[in-house]
Amino acid sequence: MVEHVIEQDMIAHLIEKAIQAREASYSPYSNYQVGAALLTEGGEIFTGCNIENAAYSPTNCAERTAFFKAVSEGKRKFSAIAIVGGTKNEEITQYAYPCGVCRQVMMEFCDPQTFQIIVAKSKNEYEIKTLLQLLPDGFGAANLS
């Protein structure tokens, strides 16, 4: 666990939003439902769910759905994301850490040292890591400048 730079109330709020967003998950192939709630530096929240596809590879993760919604609305600075994932109609027993592709998308728009990734089973059961912890030595825009 890292030091909580996001207030407790906001953590609970983001988790609640991620749980709600998960309800829209379109995942008929895996039955694994994921919801995410992304907090901008300005305090706005963009939610997302995973969206699967019969051809499999076009599937989009919940985290990227949230990021792409936000970026397409002109937002580029983010402080935190809450993620909730688990099999449909089952109790959530594991933390759904973001996949490698989603970590790389986070790397594009977030400061690895400060961006907080909140993985939750419920409003009271969660872990928080920075992007740096989940993607050490990540490749980003700075490498191309």
Length of the chain equals 145
String of contacts with ligand THU for each residue 12-41, x by CB under 6 A? ---------------x--x-x-x-------
- Which of 16, 63, 108, 127 is the catalytic position? 63
Is 96 within 8 Å of 84 (Cβ atoms)? yes
Query: How far apart are CB 50 and ligand THU at their closest, in Å?
Result: 3
Burial 77-89 (b: 16+ CB within 10 A, else e): ebbbbbbbbbeee
Q: How many CB atoms lie within 10 A of CB 92?
A: 17
47, β-bridge pairs? 37
Tell me whether residue 30 or residue 104 sits nearer to ligand THU (CB atom): 30
Q: Please say if 63 is a catalytic residue.
A: yes
Catalytic positions, written as ranges: 63
Which residues are at the interface with ligand THU (CB under 6 A)? 27, 30, 32, 34, 50, 52, 59, 61-63, 98-99, 102
